[in-house]
Chain A
Amino acid sequence: MKPHRLIMFVSAAALALVSTACGGGDDAGGVISADGSSTVGPFVTKAAEDFKAEQDVDVTVGISGTGGGFERFCAGETDLSNASRSIDEDEQALCEEAGVEYVEFRVVTDALTNVVNTENDWATCLTMDQLKAIWEPGSKVANWNQVDPSFPDVPLKLYGAGTDSGTFDYFTDVINGEEGASRSDYSATEDDNVTVQGVSGDRGAMGYFGFSYFEENQDQLKALEVDGGGGCAAPSIETAQDDSYTPLSRPLFVYVKQSSFDENEDVRNFVQFMLDNNESIATAAQFVPLSEDQVAEQLATFEDATA
């Protein structure tokens, strides 16, 4: 084929391809955008999947971290903000400044889990003091035998949440007593999957993240029991719901922009869907579902917001 013709052909093909991208496509009424916590992400993603199957509406889910999610939310870029802690004062101010009103929903519960490698046969239960000694700012604990003298001489490799993560905020607040206070020499990431990879790959490794990540990867990880003052409790749906797994069981939130509620029927339907089908979504995504009372409470909030 002569070069000239080849060029014509290729350009035409490219133009055709691009024009299919413009307009057209299956646009079934707007896209709902959600972003935020990577802990809450899998729950909202499962909800989005089921919702699409039922009502053919698209929901995109990002995992920029709780903090990142709020920044975008208060800038008006997203409809929903997923958060593994409640909105803090700075973020409230940001939203107020930008004129973004929102409604807070507790959608599911999490049991923040400490995990170790499956070959770790010496650690079963850690106390709050031990966890604090490991994670506090300036901590020099670098070996398991420093955690407890009865533990073997194995280097301690730490993996955990990045600072943009609500998990990080919650963990540091509860374990170290102050939000954001943590030693910094560990592999920090907003993507909990990296922590799973890290801990499952190293005999002396330890990490923390939301319960669903442990449940998903049970064969590659071992969960530690935590003694919050009332004896050792392993993270599970039961211990999270009856509060025996303290203080690491925590509520997870989805914040919804009021204007999205007002203007977009799909947003209302989606939030209602998440509440009505709470148990099935949570179970499928390996989260701790809300109790019936809690669901009723959230539905009441929903009614108020959409009245």
Chain B
Amino acid sequence: MTVIEPRVERDFEPAPEQFGRRSQAWKNRLFKTAMLFSMFVAFGTLAVLLVDTIVTGWPALNSQLLTGLPSTLPEEAGGRPAILATLYLGALVLLLSVPIGVLTAIYLEEYADRTRWWNRLIEVNIQNLAAVPSIVYGILGLAFIVRGIGVGRVVLAGGLILTLVVLPTVVVASREAIRSVPDSIRQGAFALGATKWQVVWRQVLPAAIPGMATGSILALSRAVGETAPLIMVGAITYVAFNPELFGAYTALPVQIYNWTRQPDPGFQTLAAAAAIVLLVIVLSMNSVAIFLRNRYRKQW
């Protein structure tokens, strides 16, 4: 019987990296370095981005930015209309995308007969829509909502477009949430004589809500940060009044975009400051979503 003695050299790291040829050890080290490098690039860039933005924008981060109106002079410019419009758009998207998205998810998970071609079509459709670039939604919006229905370049149009952009995401997240509810819950309810809708409304939905909420908030935060579709449907350059549902508007990301392009360094600072505000809005939404996910994570 041959005894295989593992080579144990104490200056190297302990097994299992020791098994095999010596080259294995440095391969491991190389790989680990490569991985740490990846992490470093990702997180390092994030850190640099945040620091750079905050440092650049700090001087302009004052109440004027939050409460003032835009101006041709950077010292006097503010972003109130843009910030308000962003909040309104967010509210609109929330009100529209969540019900439609959740209902669609319920339909696909609970009601749809998978063998029917139209249901398969809907499924594939949603997957495809999730992959469509947001600017194409902007073109859609321009053709149908701004021009077609003739609503014009108003807040409502922007809200509708953004809803369509995030709808697939809400649907996917809601489906995941519904799927994670064990079937035994449904079966138990059916056994007690509940109708399908009763099962969904009273058993499945409440259990799936945390997952849906997380997904919706993440989708919402994405909608709030979207710029391209809004550019296409005409978020105008200079808007110096509070936005209304059927009024002209400019949203915070678009305002940042406009300010970025002004070479006057004063506007660059302003753009950075506005970016801080936008980041605060987006990141707090994300934090709420993550918090919800952790808090309400159910173990079945």
Q: Do chains A and B touch in the complex (CB under 8 A)?
A: yes
- Would A6 and B213 be within 8 Å (CB), given that A17-B88, A217-B263 are in contact? yes
- Residues of A contacting B155 in the complex (Cβ-Cβ under 8 angstroms): 21
B234 is an interface residue with CB less than 8 A from chain A: yes
Does any Cβ of B come within 8 Å of A285's Cβ? yes
Question: Are A25 and B244 in touch, CB under 8 angstroms?
Answer: yes
For residue A221, which residue of chain B has the nearest CB?
B263
Would you call B296 and A60 a contact (CB within 8 A)? no
Cα distance A77–B146 when bound, in Å? 12
B72 near A18: Cβ-Cβ < 8 Å: no
A-B contacts, CB under 8 A, total = 98
Q: Which residues of B contact A200 (CB under 8 A)?
A: 263
Q: Please tell me if the beta carbons of B261 and A49 are within 8 angstroms of each other in the complex.
A: no
Asked if residues A41 and B244 are in contact (CB atoms below 8 Å), the reply is no
Q: Which of B71, B95, B248 contacts A18 (CB 8 A)?
A: B95
Report the separation of the CA atoms of residues A220 and B268 in the bound assembly, to the nearest whole angstrom.
14
Q: Is A23 an interface residue (CB 8 A)?
A: yes
**B181 within 8 Å of A (CB atoms):** no
Tell which of B10-18, B50-58, B113-121, B235-243 binds the partner: B235-243
Which of A8-16, A87-95, A164-172, A270-278 forms contacts with chain B? A8-16
Where chain B touches its partner, the secondary structure class is loop
CB neighbours of B94 from chain A (8 A): 10-11, 14
Is A197 touching B209 in the complex (CB atoms < 8 A)? no
A25 to B248, CA, bound (A): 13
Decide if A14 touches B95 in the complex (CB within 8 Å).
Answer: yes
Interchain CB contact under 8 A, B264 and A191 = no
User: With an 8 A cutoff between CB atoms, is B108 at the interface?
Assistant: no
B247 at the interface (CB under 8 A from A): yes
Residue among A22, A63, A194, A220 making CB contact with B237, cutoff 8 Å: A63
- Contact in complex: A31, B210 (CB < 8 Å): no
Contact with B along A1-45 (1 / 0, CB 8 A): 001101100110111011001111111000101010000011001
**A216 located at the interface, meaning its Cβ lies under 8 Å from any Cβ of chain B in the complex:** yes
B206 at the interface (CB under 8 A from A): yes
Tell me the dominant secondary structure on chain A's binding face.
helix
A7, B99: Cα distance in complex, Å: 11
Sort chain B's interface into a size bin: 20 to 34
Known pairs A11-B95, A18-B92, A285-B72; A3 contacts B240 (CB<8 A):
no
Contact yes or no, B262 A48, CB < 8 A: no
Residues of A near B244 (CB, < 8 A) are 21-25, 27
Q: Does A58 lie at the interface of the complex (its beta carbon under 8 Å from any beta carbon of B)?
A: yes
User: Which A residues touch B237, using CB under 8 A?
Assistant: 41, 45, 60-63
Q: Closest A residue to B259 by CB, please name it.
A: A193
Write out the residue numbers on chain A whose beta carbons fall within 8 Å of the beta carbon of B262. Answer: 193
A268 within 8 A of B: no
Contact of A196 with B by CB under 8 A: yes
Quick one: which of B237-270 are within 8 Å of A by CB?
237-245, 247-248, 261-264
User: Which B residues lie at the A interface, using CB under 8 A?
Assistant: 71-72, 87-88, 91-92, 94-95, 152, 155, 206, 209-210, 213, 234, 236-245, 247-248, 261-264, 296
Can you pick out 28 interface pairs between chain A and chain B where the beta carbons lie within 8 Å of each other? A3-B296, A6-B209, A6-B213, A17-B87, A17-B88, A17-B91, A18-B92, A21-B91, A21-B243, A21-B244, A23-B245, A24-B244, A26-B242, A27-B244, A42-B72, A45-B237, A45-B238, A46-B72, A48-B238, A48-B240, A49-B72, A58-B241, A60-B238, A61-B236, A193-B263, A194-B261, A197-B261, A220-B263
